[in-house]
Structure 1
């Protein structure tokens, strides 16, 4: 009895010694801690993915002093600049580039191995977005018979749509069909592209809709495009364009009807000889038309107007057309970027006003780089040249006949790849591996080819660096060829005028990557980043699932 009373006394003493509000404090602290737990992500109202077609990284630095404060400089100075950003695959072309940016992977996975490629099953060339099962919307031509069905995986926009139960919108616009369709993905509310010729209209496909929205029809019947039927003169004093070569030179292509490549370019007098509205694509006005339409889409689709994140993909294609036409070192390219800078400023200002300056996130990159015109490089005593494969065709055919008894063993040569007829090889009791090796050895003897790889090598060797790694990332087992050729550095398969792209060389892989806006740190890095890193980074920012084929990584340094 005494022992029980003693124990009771001790318990009463301890309870009395503890502050009366002690339990309340502990309970209150736990509740406070719960209130302090943050959501795993803070999503912007709108993500804007910008792709500038054929933009080399050095266009940022080379033309820097000509840019205003509200375009490229705003994105660089207030955002995050990845200065050592590269494509990690080849071929570096528009279709694969746009697919890779938005899927977070490479052609080895997403399947868009070129703009056009030889289809082994159909035994013909196919275009990356062609789809005859769908019709055109907004035109009576076949220009709208398109879809993203050849792209085998999802985009970050697709994942956002799934994450929001299809309540978040995805809209994509570009002069080029592939520049809108592939970024839009499989679930886009709409993808719009420009049909020139004698129409000058923004169109779509029945894959997305049965008729154009009223705001698109209103844009098409306005004079928004017609206003650019004018003379193209430099927007600044041409004498200030010291970062470019001479105005008229032999490295530039002429518009049909011109006798000189120099400014000004009178689009009115050249109109009918250059496919009407299509001539606008090869001028900076094509980018301005894209910006005008993007601003109309921003308002017409009410993007970023609620707390459910929308996705807006915009591709500026005229930079590519101008680059192909006039070349990397032309004053036309410089003027195009100075004008694009002003269009970017217009876009950012509209986003500030309509979405809110702190409520959107932007990334800007390119779909590939470009090489200087090889003829120009040669004149500067730099090793460069042109592929002679067409001239070698007769010699190559003689080799095939002598070695295999027939030229039919080769079905197609395109995109620097050789496609073999496996049935004929089997009928000749030959091994695919051996035939690939023999043909590769022959091609390696051509002076303009630096190296070759076989499909067998792509299948059986895990390349982790260098050119073979880049080729392997672009090699799709079902769609790619049997022998892969790599042209020597500075060598292209192209005309003698204008610039091009497509190789695994660094001038085609090094492109800008800028992040800006909500959730983005201010800074820069020289660490290597790669194109497939973009989609996972945006997915991490939004707190959504990665695209289902993603192989890139989240760029942690970019995100707050």
Structure 2
């Protein structure tokens, strides 16, 4: 028989165990009640915004001029990645849009430039060009585009696949590549702006045989014609203290203007500057893009049900204005203040059509830009220009002296040399040795900082620095034999306006703002990279990552 003391102790232990188990069950029940749905609560619409040539400091420089409903709303209520970078070069429009949406770099997705030398055909090819398709909505060749050169899927493709093609994906941009590449291989439609005398939005037979009625109606409505007006500052130009003087020698001149100053009288400049094409180098191009995107939102019923749709918008005019006037111009400041107003207008329409809290937006850029090197030079800052004509002449002389012919180099583009491998074989020259000798020669030329060979790209593993950035942009089937990097703040460009394309930090540092459903408000200072955008969206949506993904989700941004 158990002693009484032991029996009492056993009873207390059993009661304690029952109490503990009951408490644990209660905690689990409450956790189940409080926990959000793991899946099935996705936003009704994702809006992807890529601002062409947006440096990160455009947020901070112009912050005090922005209204409350655009950039400030998204940053204040959303998530800002402050140390966001491109982790590859070249930092150009085509590779930028492809990398944002595929979650990887040109080494994997294959879009190694806006244009590049094709080693198979021996011809220059365009990243979105496709001779097998026809223009829709135009009698010209501007519509002959498709995503066929992109080697992997996009986040928009994965969304369509996840929902058995019931999701709608619409992509919009002034530039064809700014619509075609984000739309992916399965977009319902991609639209871009023809310009010229038509001022029409067009597409290609890759997507459709004829334009939808709403697009024809928009083209016929005079929506573009209303921007044929003077470009005057949105605010008092005397308050634009964040930019340089209005009349400086570092800005391009619109054909017909005596000085690069406000107001820019577009009606007077219209015929000599490509008619509607002139809108591209003004903020009105972005406003027209917003008009068209809002029309697409309504006409296509995007975000109307529980199956997530995707609207991809690229704002191209910021790039044209930056190239033409430079990153320190009053024109670029005015362009961003007007873009801020366009973003506010877009967000209000999303609130109305989809519902506040029912959609998710991300905003980033396809590259940054360098300040005008001539301005930096005059300010006493190390900067300058690469004399590509002189460089090519010196290189040709070296090739003739060393190998007896300059034909060893078949093509020199995108800061890459493409060699004639068959000629090297016939001359019994070792490919790796020739690459190395050319790299050593180029390294001695003015304005060149580093030179890498294809052998280094293929055999080595770079974990940081310029080598890593170049390697992430190197695709063995498409890239060249020798890759050169210009000195920081040196450019192969005119002495007016800004450019981009380098692996330097002014070209890689861009904003990333995430806003809306599923996003945790806050900011982040740790380094994130462009290929992180797509997997972050995939994690939020609960869908498969794009097929070539090398980036990682940003957990700090997800609610």
TM-score, with length taken from structure 1:
0.94
Counterparts of residues 234-383 of structure 1 (less than 5 Å): 234-383=233-382
Paired position in structure 1 for 2:83: 84
Output the CA distance in 1 between the equivalents of 2:302 and 2:268: 39
For residue 247 of structure 1, give the secondary structure of its aligned residue in structure 2. coil
Paired position in structure 2 for 1:162: 161
Note if 1:115 corresponds to 2:114. yes
Deviation at 1:389, TM superposition (A): 2.3
Paired position in structure 1 for 2:70: 71
For residue 142 of structure 2, give the secondary structure of its aligned residue in structure 1. coil
Counterparts of residues 479-494 of structure 1 (less than 5 Å): 479-494=478-493
Note if 1:59 corresponds to 2:53. no
Deviation at 1:252, TM superposition (A): 0.4
* Worse-superposed segment, 387-396 or 50-59: 387-396
Deviation at 1:384, TM superposition (A): 0.5
Output the CA distance in 1 between the equivalents of 2:511 and 2:315: 14
For residue 231 of structure 1, give the secondary structure of its aligned residue in structure 2. coil
Q: C-alpha deviations, 1:17-47, integer Å up to 9, x for none? A: 99xxx9xx99x97998877765323210000
Stretches of 4+ moved more than 4 A in 1?
A: 28-38
* Worse-superposed segment, 399-408 or 366-375: 399-408
Paired position in structure 1 for 2:5: none
Output the CA distance in 2 between the equivalents of 1:47 and 1:251: 39
Paired position in structure 2 for 1:401: 400
Equivalent pair of 2:66/2:337 in contact (CA under 8 Å): yes
Paired position in structure 1 for 2:38: 40
Paired position in structure 1 for 2:470: 471
Note if 1:435 corresponds to 2:434. yes
Output the CA distance in 2 between the equivalents of 1:273 and 1:360: 43
Q: C-alpha deviations, 1:70-100, integer Å up to 9, x for none? A: 0000011110000000000000000000000
Q: C-alpha deviations, 1:164-215, integer Å up to 9, x for none? A: 0000111100000000000000000000000001110000010000111111
Q: C-alpha deviations, 1:262-284, integer Å up to 9, x for none? A: 11100001000001100000000
Q: C-alpha deviations, 1:452-502, integer Å up to 9, x for none? A: 000000001110000000000000000000000000011001111000000
Equivalent pair of 2:100/2:533 in contact (CA under 8 Å): yes
Output the CA distance in 1 between the equivalents of 2:30 and 2:341: 49
Output the CA distance in 2 between the equivalents of 1:133 and 1:124: 16
Give the direction of change, closer, same or farther, for the CA distance of 1:237–1:403 in structure 2 (3 Å limit): same
Counterparts of residues 180-259 of structure 1 (less than 5 Å): 180-259=179-258
Paired position in structure 1 for 2:455: 456
Deviation at 1:535, TM superposition (A): 0.1
TM-score, with length taken from structure 2:
0.95
Output the CA distance in 2 between the equivalents of 1:490 and 1:297: 40
Output the CA distance in 2 between the equivalents of 1:32 and 1:520: 24
Output the CA distance in 2 between the equivalents of 1:483 and 1:52: 31
Q: C-alpha deviations, 1:210-255, integer Å up to 9, x for none? A: 1111111110000111000010010101000000001011000001
For residue 313 of structure 2, give the secondary structure of its aligned residue in structure 1. strand
Equivalent pair of 2:386/2:446 in contact (CA under 8 Å): no
Paired position in structure 2 for 1:100: 99
Equivalent pair of 2:78/2:515 in contact (CA under 8 Å): yes
Output the CA distance in 1 between the equivalents of 2:148 and 2:354: 32
Output the CA distance in 2 between the equivalents of 1:432 and 1:305: 58
Output the CA distance in 1 between the equivalents of 2:106 and 2:410: 22
For residue 364 of structure 1, give the secondary structure of its aligned residue in structure 2. strand
Output the CA distance in 2 between the equivalents of 1:64 and 1:33: 42
Gap regions ≥5 residues in structure 1: 1-13
Please report the RMSD computed on the Cα atoms of aligned residues, expressed in angstroms: 1.9
Output the CA distance in 1 between the equivalents of 2:391 and 2:460: 30
